[in-house]
């Protein structure tokens, strides 16, 4: 299956116009026929993976490492995006659709910091008031966080967006977007097959890499990170050594929630944020953790990369057999990825067998 998929993308497919309407017809043709389109799709996959990793790393920290079933992670993403949008609009003078040249770096970073702080607090309150007393009870945690997700999502629809263009309807969870800083509004000449690529997407990838490096250093090179990993492996022994494991886990939950807010700001700038995205991003995070393996940040990074490759390439290279076929089926291939990985590695690519 994997070999056929590679051959299909590289050799077999034909561009629209050469043989429309059959299983070989795609929007751009094979990689050999159109290497520029292939390279652009590959870069789209990798940069999209960076965005996914920012969000999924927070979920991996909470669910994969701490074993806390936080089904509200998606709604934390949604709330963070709307908070950042409102701050962004206030700082730029309510420009609604703002030209990148009118946005400086601080006008993007300030909403990011505010959103991360707000979502971190929301996550901490949720953990301390609702989840701390149910540790080890996965079903109860799942039901509680699903209830939190439904309540918060309804409140978002009722109260956001608050800043809208004249004549537009306030509230209702309408799709809104932020604007990248002006210096990212460029396309870089890669000097390869005539491809000019977005600096904003490369910046998005660099943010994902920075988050990954920061998490690795925090978990493996600091005392608090070592305590978190020790507490996950043997909570009773860690507590017996005089360490307040509850404070440690609260810090980890706070960090994981803040990453959901971080990812939402990146998403709001790249593609916008709107109602029902909470479910989509919870699913994205679940796929990454399942494929990569619970408790592994390296697994989360690889899971995000595989998910980005499968979703982006299937959207670009599924056959164009008609006006209603077939790129909309790309999401189904992500479940094929899950099935393929779990068939050979039930614990995920980097997960530990229990």
Per-residue pLDDT tens, the chain, 354 aa: give them. Answer: 888 888 888 888 877 665 555 677 777 788 888 899 999 999 999 999 999 999 999 999 998 777 888 999 999 999 999 999 999 999 987 666 777 778 899 999 999 999 999 999 999 999 999 998 888 788 999 999 999 999 999 999 999 998 888 777 788 889 999 999 999 999 999 989 889 999 999 999 999 999 999 999 999 999 988 888 888 778 788 888 888 888 888 999 999 999 999 999 999 999 999 988 999 999 999 999 999 988 788 999 999 999 999 999 988 888 765 555 666 777 788 888 899 898 889 889 988 765
Q: At what angle do helices 297-317 and 277-292 cross, to 10 degrees?
A: 120
- Greatest extent of the chain over all pairs of C-alpha atoms, in Å: 71
Question: How big is the CA angle at 107 (ends 102 and 110), to the nearest 5 degrees?
Answer: 175
The alpha-helical segments, DSSP class H, found in 234-350 are 235-240, 245-270, 277-292, 297-317, 330-344
Residue 64, CA distances (Å) to 67, 116, 228, 253, 348 in order: 6, 21, 12, 12, 11
Residue 209, CA distances (Å) to 197, 233, 282, 311 in order: 18, 27, 21, 20
What is the pTM for the complete model shown? 0.93
3-state DSSP helix/strand/coil percent for the chain, to nearest 5?
70, 5, 30
Beta bridge partners of 325: 322
Question: Rounded to 5 degrees, what are φ and ψ at 167?
Answer: 90, -15
Give the strand pairing for 14-15 and 25-26. parallel
């Amino acid at each position: 299956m994997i070999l056929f998929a590679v051959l299909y993308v590289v050799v077999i497919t034909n561009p629209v116009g050469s043989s429309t309407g059959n299983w070989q017809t795609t929007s751009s043709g094979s990689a050999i026929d159109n290497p520029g389109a292939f390279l652009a799709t590959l870069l789209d996959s990798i940069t999209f993976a960076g965005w996914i990793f920012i969000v999924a790393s927070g979920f991996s920290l909470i669910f994969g490492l701490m074993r806390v079933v936080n089904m509200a992670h998606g709604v934390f993403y949604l709330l963070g995006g709307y908070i950042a949008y409102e701050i962004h609009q206030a700082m730029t003078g309510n420009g609604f659709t703002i030209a990148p040249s009118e946005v400086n770096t601080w006008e993007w970073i300030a909403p990011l910091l505010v959103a991360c702080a707000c979502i971190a607090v929301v996550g901490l309150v949720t953990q301390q008031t609702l989840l701390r007393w149910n540790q080890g009870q996965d079903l109860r945690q799942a039901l509680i966080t699903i209830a939190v997700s439904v309540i918060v999502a309804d409140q978002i629809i009722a109260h956001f967006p608050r800043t809208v263009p004249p004549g537009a309807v306030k509230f209702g969870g309408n799709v809104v977007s932020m604007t990248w800083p002006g210096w990212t509004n460029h396309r870089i000449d890669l000097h390869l097959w005539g491809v000019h690529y977005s600096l904003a997407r490369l910046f998005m990838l660099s943010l994902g890499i920075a988050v990954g490096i920061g998490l690795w250093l925090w978990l493996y090179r600091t005392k608090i990170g070592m305590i978190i990993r020790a507490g996950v492996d043997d909570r009773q022994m860690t507590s017996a050594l005089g360490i307040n494991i509850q404070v440690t886990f609260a810090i980890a939950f706070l960090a994981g929630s803040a990453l959901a807010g971080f990812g939402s700001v990146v998403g709001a700038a790249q593609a916008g944020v709107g109602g029902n995205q909470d479910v989509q991003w919870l699913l994205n995070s679940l796929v990454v953790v399942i494929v990569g393996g619970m408790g592994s940040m390296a697994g989360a990074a690889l899971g995000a990369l595989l998910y980005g490759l499968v979703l982006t390439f299937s959207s670009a290279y599924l056959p164009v057999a008609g006006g209603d076929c077939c790129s909309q089926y790309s999401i189904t291939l992500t479940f094929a990825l899950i099935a393929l990985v779990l068939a050979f590695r039930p614990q995920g690519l980097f997960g530990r067998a229990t």
